[in-house]
Chain A
């Protein structure tokens, strides 16, 4: 059945999903992020929170304040007015220790691609990524912009535990893991940065719409950054615009 986008669909009695597309596309995601920003700046009374994802914005609302039927036209108007790119996301350079215990798939992945590990790292660090969404777990960053040669299917059997800070590849997506947990993605390194630390004044390092580059680092710098993270520091600032 052909579907026309954008469309607003029901998610029960307290949420609507504004779907802009069913694919992964930077322009679509930019519109999602712009709409979320607009709703944060100019709140609608019934809207409790929003969840920007790749290609849709989940809007949670209180039906006792306003019904979906009354909310939809206003959300449609906001969507028409929201201008993507009005505020470019921040850009972070994320330090990465490639390979090692956490980046345990680096050599195998390089073999699969007919590359040396160094070449694979160079390809991974030459690209700029976009944070399409934060989801699944606190601070977990889903990145788009992975060079095509690095696209790799997920493992048939997920691993039981992958560490926080692991730098992953799953299909055409990339990730920076924020908390330890099971995963079927492939991992090529780790960052000492903590994307999520509830004890920090800013618990979350990245937001949807931010841009990310990776920079290889050695063991000495990793040790310094690990110490900074343990002390509750973010360890990195966004680049000046």
Chain B
């Protein structure tokens, strides 16, 4: 069994895969990656299937070693990667040999990084997934963040080439698009004007459950308590404080605050990756437009995955 040895680790590193399906009715959050496309690309770069588990880190990665040769790739954003002190690029795969130290520094201009190893992380699945849900302690490594000296099992992986993109994978820019509702009618015209015309600042109050936004306080003329109903990733709930909270991967399955709008699936990873302190703006689109964008986004991701190819051989100094 190949082992991943954790020598040092950032404050927020968890095992994630595509998450738990079909258990929202039982109160079980889906979990899974904050930036799904980046996770999919990391897996593809090491020759893994899309269902393999990876490490997700917020901010800083850590220092890792392996017991057998593997391939690894880091995605999510720009980040300093060193193999025994030698710099390596993100968004492509590299070999890591026993005895070598892989050091992954801090993300620049992004928040969530993905570290995939060939074979995937094979901690025991819980309720059908390896994704970690911190609040309920499910999945991953004992349902918790990684700590120094942890050891994680890696799956069997055949030898394979090192891979990189032929085309660069780039997310769109512009406002974060939202679909009004389900409780859009609890907010009056003034609240809607503030919501769509004023900038919001991505607050450092953020985790895998939710992202708090600073900016104009949104007043729900219809009251800030509703009879609890279901939530989705991207639900923008507004508690009595008026500070919107965007619900993310580890969200509670139901909630009692009115939800003014829902972030379009295409833009949710982009919001997750926006560094704290940055301004964002919202733009309202229809449900049908958001559906189109979701479908286009899947196609773009499929194109990026199809555009992964063998890295050109490195010229060795003679």
Contacts and interface: CB of A to CB of B under 8 A. Distances in A.
A85 to B, nearest CB: 19
Interface string B253-273: 111000100111100000000
Interface in A1-45: 1, 3, 9-15, 17, 19, 22-24, 36
A14 B30 CA distance: 14
A14 B232 contact: yes
Most central of A15, A57, A142 by chain B CB within 10 Å: A15
A69 interface: yes
Contact of B290 (A13, A17, A204): A13
B291 A54 contact: no
A138 B287 contact: no
B230 A58 contact: yes
Contacts of A196: 26-27
Interface string A61-80: 00110011100000000000
A13 B264 contact: yes
B264 A52 contact: no
A116 interface: no
Contacts of B259: 11
Contact of A49 (B21, B135, B265): B21
Given A53-B229, A63-B295, A137-B136, A11 B26 contact: no
A3 B185 contact: yes
Contact of B235 (A11, A51, A53): A11
A48 B127 CA distance: 17
Interface residues of A, number: 50
A51 B127 contact: no
Interface string B1-35: 00000000000000000000111111110000000
A10 B264 CA distance: 11
B176 to A, nearest CB: 12
B275 to A, nearest CB: 24
B289 to A, nearest CB: 8
A185 interface: no
Given A11-B182, A54-B227, A198 B21 contact: no
Contacts of A17: 182, 229-230
Interface in B143-188: 179-182, 185
B114 to A, nearest CB: 22
A108 to B, nearest CB: 25
B87 interface: no
Contacts of A19: 182, 229
B132 interface: no
Given A55-B229, A56-B230, A198-B127, A10 B182 contact: yes
A19 B295 CA distance: 27
A144 to B, nearest CB: 11
A10 B287 contact: yes
Given A13-B294, A67-B291, A179 B136 contact: yes
Given A58-B230, A203-B26, A9 B182 contact: yes
A55 B227 contact: yes
B126 interface: yes
B138 interface: yes
30 contacts: A3-B185, A10-B180, A11-B181, A11-B259, A12-B234, A12-B235, A12-B264, A13-B179, A22-B227, A48-B21, A49-B25, A51-B24, A51-B25, A51-B230, A51-B253, A58-B229, A63-B291, A63-B294, A64-B294, A67-B288, A68-B291, A134-B27, A135-B228, A136-B254, A137-B27, A137-B135, A137-B136, A138-B23, A179-B137, A208-B25
The 10 closest A-B pairs by CB, nearest first: A58-B230, A135-B254, A12-B262, A13-B290, A51-B230, A63-B291, A10-B287, A9-B182, A10-B181, A53-B229
Interface of B: 21-28, 126-127, 135-138, 179-182, 185, 226-232, 234-235, 252-255, 259, 262-265, 287-288, 290-291, 293-295, 298
Given A11-B235, A55-B229, A138-B23, 8 more contacts: A19-B229, A54-B228, A54-B229, A56-B229, A58-B229, A58-B230, A60-B232, A64-B295
